Amino acid sequence: MRFKLDENLPRNAHSLLVGAGHDVHSASEEGLGGGTDARLIGACLAEERILVTLDLDFADIQQYPPSSHHGVWVVRPATQSVANIVSVLRGALTLLAAEPTEGRLWIVEPGRVRIRE
């Protein structure tokens, strides 16, 4: 899978996804940090990447209809510690073989993933 990590995710999230064999780019490394949400989702569309973020704005299906992108994962850990973020992402990775991401919003929480189409 091809992912783009929002600037609000720790480096450990990048390491986890790369270690699982995925192609991962970081918004910060690409100079997208501090930019608009539209610019970030536009980069994801152009590169055909799944956006992974803590930003709840991307969970708004009126603003970002699932059919309009390659997938968005909004990560919702109990607390925003590095360990909790990585743990929640690890759980989501187990679903990749069974659930498509294209045109879907994944709300990734401790112990569950809610998927909207």
CB 64 within 8 A of CB 58: yes
- C-alpha closest to that of 27 among 36, 18, 19: 36
pLDDT on residue 19: 96
Nearest-angstrom CA–CA distance, 7 and 27: 6
Structure tokens of 103?
Answer: 């045109």
Mean pLDDT of 55-68: 94
pLDDT tens for 2-22 read 999 999 999 999 999 999 999
Average pLDDT value for the chain: 93
CB 57 within 8 A of CB 10: no
Query: Which residue carries 């100079």 as its tokens?
Result: 31
Nearest-angstrom CA–CA distance, 32 and 60: 21
pTM exceeds 0.75, yes or no? yes
pLDDT tens for 18-50 read 999 999 999 988 878 787 888 999 999 999 999
pLDDT at 89 over 90: yes
